[in-house]
């Protein structure tokens, strides 16, 4: 039996221990591409409308945050795209934008050390809905051979890897509405420990279809403000009545800092902290005292090796639900003490809705751009603040402020909690 000597095993990448963001891409209810959606975030633009992707009449909730004017043919061969679920369209588009934005050259050596970690909270609900109709019609032989591959959540990572010949670590996170943030955090750790030089990381979701809307209506977690869609998502407001479902994707290109500097990359920010925890409480309701959220933020701060008073801005999970919003505010106060009243704590879900498994990625990108441009994006529709009045939720209008450290919270069904900390890049 032959054996391979240790000396013949190819060496892995040399890790600097620091991870930076060098490329970004997004498909959102406020538009496709950072140059389109980011100015709308700063301006407080509302992306919530009456549902148009399906007939909303049979449903108790008839409003959503849909991606407008998305041309899948700009990103994929149309024949291939017809077989795929919409969440895959979004993932491919966002990853392609991130690669293009980074200016990175995909050499043969780099492809071996370049990974993909794009998650989805639900995966291919649209493909599932279309194919299960054949079962109800007694025609199981009509089920597509692409049904299973394009339904499963890991196929976002798989397709992006295949299209770009990226051979490094490749897997998928599924942690409900924490998915996108978990994906970025895990990719950060993969690069930090030297298992990859670069990773495309983020989340993608496309739940606005009959089974998705029916399922969330049955959960009674969504808004019923059907006559005023533009006012439906109102985190921290006294009159909130549930979240607005959204769709979209964001992907960040994370890269070993030394590698990025050596190639002269544009660096958006540095990822420095990643905390995650469990409420261990209820399948859909968060712990009322914010036990898990407090733990995830404290873990992120500890791993970032910074004190709480360094944080300038928190992009809150802030879904506009009666229970979730006050819980998060209490957790912020638990972690930051008096500094909580000097922070900006806003929820951009007031504009782009709750994009489920993509939320943590879209909102991490918003944090990075907020730092770059020294601006805290607003919480729109905040007319009667119910939470502690001393907390600055950046009501309705963006506020200019120098931001050096930002924190993003993402929480999910099942009691998942994720906190990410990013800072301005420096030597």
Model confidence pLDDT, tens digit, residues 76-133:
999 999 999 999 999 999 999 999 999 999 999 999 999 999 999 999 999 999 999 9
The one catalytic residue in 287, 354, 393, 416 is 354
Active site includes 172?
A: no
Instruction: Please compute the mean of the pLDDT values over residues 36-55 and round it to a whole number.
Output: 98
Per DSSP, which regions of 220-333 are E strands?
A: 248-256, 269-278, 313-315
pLDDT band of 6, cuts 50, 70, 90: low
CA 177 to chain centre: 8
pLDDT of residue 15: 78
The one catalytic residue in 177, 217, 231, 367 is 177
What H or E segment, with its residue span, contains residue 299?
A: helix 291-304
- 19-262: which CATH number, 3.40.190.10, 3.40.47.10, 3.90.78.10, 3.40.50.720? 3.40.47.10
Question: Tokens 């990625």 correspond to what residue?
Answer: 361
Q: What percent of the chain has pLDDT over 70?
A: 97
pLDDT band of 4, cuts 50, 70, 90: low
Active site includes 219?
A: no
361 vs 203: CA distance, rounded Å? 6
Please list the residue range(s) of the chain that carry CATH number 3.40.47.10. 19-262, 274-423
- 274-423: which CATH number, 3.90.1150.10, 3.40.50.2300, 3.40.50.2000, 3.40.47.10? 3.40.47.10
The one catalytic residue in 89, 259, 287, 317 is 317
pLDDT of residue 1: 46
Instruction: Please compute the mean of the pLDDT values over residues 178-185 and round it to a whole number.
Output: 98
Instruction: Please compute the mean of the pLDDT values over residues 384-399 and round it to a whole number.
Output: 97
Active site includes 259?
A: no
């Amino acid at each position: 039996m032959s054996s391979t000597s240790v000396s013949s095993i190819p060496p892995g990448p040399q890790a600097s221990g620091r991870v930076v963001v060098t490329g970004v891409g997004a498909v959102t209810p406020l538009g496709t591409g950072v140059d389109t959606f980011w100015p709308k975030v700063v301006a407080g633009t509302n992306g919530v409308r009456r549902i148009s992707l399906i007939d909303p009449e049979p449903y108790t909730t008839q409003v959503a945050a849909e991606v407008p004017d998305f041309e899948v043919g700009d990103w994929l061969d149309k024949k291939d795209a017809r077989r795929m679920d919409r969440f895959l369209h979004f993932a491919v588009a966002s990853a392609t934008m991130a690669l293009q934005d980074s200016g990175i050259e995909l050499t043969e050596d780099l492809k071996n050390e370049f990974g993909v970690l794009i998650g989805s909270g639900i995966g291919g609900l649209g493909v599932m809905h279309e194919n299960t109709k054949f079962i109800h019609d007694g025609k199981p032989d009509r089920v597509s051979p692409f049904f299973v591959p394009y339904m499963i959540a890991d196929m976002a990572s798989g397709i992006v890897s295949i299209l770009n010949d990226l051979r490094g670590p490749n897997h998928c996170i599924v942690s409900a509405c924490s998915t996108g943030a978990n994906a970025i955090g895990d990719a950060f750790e993969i690069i930090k420990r030297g298992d990859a030089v670069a990773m495309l990381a983020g989340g993608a979701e496309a739940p606005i279809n009959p089974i998705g809307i029916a399922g969330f209506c049955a959960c009674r977690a969504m808004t019923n403000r059907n006559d005023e869609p533009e006012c439906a998502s109102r985190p921290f407001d006294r009159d909130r009545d549930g979240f607005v479902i959204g769709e979209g994707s964001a992907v960040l290109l994370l890269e070993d800092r030394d590698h990025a500097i050596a190639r002269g990359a544009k660096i958006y920010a540095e990822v420095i902290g990643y905390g995650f925890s469990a409420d261990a409480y209820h399948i859909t309701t968060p712990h009322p005292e914010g036990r898990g959220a407090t733990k995830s933020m404290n873990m992120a701060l500890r791993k970032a090796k910074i004190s709480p008073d360094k944080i300038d801005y928190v992009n809150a999970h802030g879904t506009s639900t009666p229970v979730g919003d006050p819980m998060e505010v209490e957790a912020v106060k638990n972690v930051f003490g008096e500094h909580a009243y000097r922070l900006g704590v806003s929820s951009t879900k007031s504009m782009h809705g709750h994009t489920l498994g993509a939320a943590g990625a879209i909102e991490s990108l918003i944090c990075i751009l907020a730092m770059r441009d020294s601006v805290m994006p607003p919480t729109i529709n905040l007319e009667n603040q119910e939470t502690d009045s001393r907390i600055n939720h950046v009501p309705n209008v963006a506020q200019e402020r120098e931001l050096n450290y930002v924190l993003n919270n993402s929480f999910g069904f099942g009691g998942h909690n994720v906190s990410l900390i990013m800072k301005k890049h420096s030597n």
